Structure 1
Amino acid sequence: MLATTIGGVASISAAAVFSFTLLSKMVERMVSLSVGIMLSTALLHALPEAFDSGADTHKLFATLLAGLLAFFLLEKLAILRHSHHHEGDGHHHAHGHDAREAGKSGWMILIGDGMHNFTDGILIAAAFLANPELGIITGLAIIAHEIPQEIGDFIVLLNAGFSRRRAYVFNLLCSLMAVAGGLIGYYTLDQANGLIPYVLVFASSGFLYIAVSDLMPQMQRRATVRESVPQVLLIGLGVLIVVFLTGAH
């Protein structure tokens, strides 16, 4: 309860601060840190935890494959993630084009985020049931991943005509769906401990997919040495944070 509540409020509040003050450079830096945290959480902690559980190795790899394909399909259906267009983005549209497009997708963004946050709550619950330490680091990884995504959501909602207060309140309500997911996940998975390794593998597939298919390509578009050096350093910092907090080797 505490982890999902703090995670939801912290990620939304941080995203609101960045969005409303337009600290774009800090947002870009956070993407790099998020990549390091998500990749190391999945590869150095969650996946080893799942494979050390004694569950069938072939089934765990099948779950990893199914998870990657599921996130790909969710992206295709625009349920999990959505692309963001803004006025002045360099594309030649009539004035107001992007605002109209955002207006059409504003409520869908909130619905998609609510579903996503509900799933995050279940994943946090599964991680805590497997290992409290893993629960904490999973919560931190989800927060780190949510902030850049929520910043984009705020910008779209503001462009769609939401006031700052209304955008914050609706996004906060969606983020608190993680609490409901955490409660359901805790009481459901507690009765079926054998499912925990598979949920952890599915969570890892999400971290891997988002980091590799979304965040890293964004970083690759900034290929100058001036941009690349901080990116590499912050990815390394993200890895070190996970290693330090979890004792992963």
Structure 2
Amino acid sequence: MLATLIAGVVSISAAAVFSFTLLSKMVERLVSLSVGIMLSTSLLHALPEAFESHADPRKLFGALLAGLLAFFFLEKLALLRHSHHHEGDGHHHAHGHDAHAAGKSGWMILIGDGMHNFTDGILIAAAFLANPELGIVTALAIVAHEIPTEIGDFIVLLNAGFSRMRAYVFNLLCSLLSVAGGLIGYYTLDRASGLIPYVLVFASSGFIYIAVSDLMPQMQRRATVKDSIPQVLLIGLGVAMVLFLTAGH
């Protein structure tokens, strides 16, 4: 409960600070750091933990494949349902059309974010049940990814007409759904421990998919040496953080 609560409050509050002060350079740095944390959490800790269990490796690889495809289709749905233009972007719509669309997208963002946070809570619970250290690094990986994601959500909500305080409060309420997901996940998976390796693999597929298909392509758009060196160093820092936290395991 504490891990899900801290993960939600920290990510929302940090995202609000960055969004409201427009520290775009810091946002780019956080993306690089989160790539290192997410990939190392998945590949060096969560997946080995799952495969060291008594579960059938073929079924675990099947879960990994299913997870990657599921996240691909979910992203497709999100891309199809979202409108990414704004007033004055050159598209010809009646006055107020984009503001109306933005208002709808604001509520869609909150609904989707709430469901996402609920799932994160379940994943954190599964990680803690498998190993407390894994629970900590999983929560850390979720925070690292959520901060840049929530910054994007704040921008959408502000564009949709939400005040800063209203955007913060609604995002914070959505983040608390992770606590509910953690509670349900803990008591459900504790009685069905055989499902834990599969939940860990599914969580890993999400981390890998987000890092490789979303975050890393963003980083590749800045291909100069000046941009690339900090990116590589911050990815390495993210990996080092996970290795440090799991050194005793």
TM-score range, shorter chain: over 0.9
The letter of the residue matching 2:118 is F
1:27 aligns to 2:23 (yes or no)? no
Partner SS, residue 78 of structure 2 = coil
**Distance in 1 between residues matched to 2:231 and 2:163, nearest whole Å:** 33
Contact map agreement 2:46 2:200 (CA 8 A) in 1: yes
Deviations, residues 110-157 of structure 1 (Å, cap 9, x unaligned): 000000000000000000000001000100000000000000000110
**Distance in 1 between residues matched to 2:177 and 2:25, nearest whole Å:** 29
**1:8-157 → structure 2 map (5 Å cutoff):** 8-78=8-78, 85=85, 91-93=89-91, 99-157=99-157
Partner SS, residue 32 of structure 1 = helix
**Distance in 2 between residues matched to 1:164 and 1:100, nearest whole Å:** 19
CA RMSD of aligned residues (A): 1.9
**Distance in 2 between residues matched to 1:99 and 1:248, nearest whole Å:** 52
Partner of 2:241: 241
1:221 aligns to 2:221 (yes or no)? yes
**Judging changes above 3 Å, is the alpha-carbon distance between structure 1 residues 27 and 86 closer, same or farther for their aligned structure 2 residues?**
farther
Report the Cα offset of residue 76 of structure 1.
1.1
**How many equivalent residue pairs?**
246
The letter of the residue matching 2:150 is E
**Distance in 2 between residues matched to 1:77 and 1:211, nearest whole Å:** 19
Partner of 1:161: 161
**Distance in 1 between residues matched to 2:194 and 2:71, nearest whole Å:** 23
Deviations, residues 195-225 of structure 1 (Å, cap 9, x unaligned): 0000000000000000001000000011111
Contact map agreement 2:110 2:170 (CA 8 A) in 1: yes
Partner SS, residue 75 of structure 1 = helix
**Judging changes above 3 Å, is the alpha-carbon distance between structure 1 residues 218 and 122 closer, same or farther for their aligned structure 2 residues?**
same
Contact map agreement 1:158 1:164 (CA 8 A) in 2: yes
**Distance in 2 between residues matched to 1:58 and 1:248, nearest whole Å:** 29
Report the Cα offset of residue 101 of structure 1.
3.4
**Distance in 2 between residues matched to 1:62 and 1:121, nearest whole Å:** 23
Report the Cα offset of residue 247 of structure 1.
1.8
Report the Cα offset of residue 103 of structure 1.
1.8
Segment drifting more, 170-179 vs 239-248: 239-248
Deviations, residues 16-38 of structure 1 (Å, cap 9, x unaligned): 00000000000000000000000
The letter of the residue matching 1:29 is R
Percent of aligned pairs sharing the same letter:
85
**Distance in 1 between residues matched to 2:14 and 2:224, nearest whole Å:** 28
In structure 2, stretches of 5+ residues that fail to align are: none
**Judging changes above 3 Å, is the alpha-carbon distance between structure 1 residues 234 and 64 closer, same or farther for their aligned structure 2 residues?**
same
**Distance in 1 between residues matched to 2:248 and 2:223, nearest whole Å:** 31
Segment drifting more, 59-68 vs 99-108: 99-108
**Judging changes above 3 Å, is the alpha-carbon distance between structure 1 residues 86 and 27 closer, same or farther for their aligned structure 2 residues?**
farther
**Judging changes above 3 Å, is the alpha-carbon distance between structure 1 residues 133 and 84 closer, same or farther for their aligned structure 2 residues?**
farther
**Distance in 2 between residues matched to 1:159 and 1:196, nearest whole Å:** 40
Segment drifting more, 173-182 vs 94-103: 94-103
The letter of the residue matching 2:37 is I
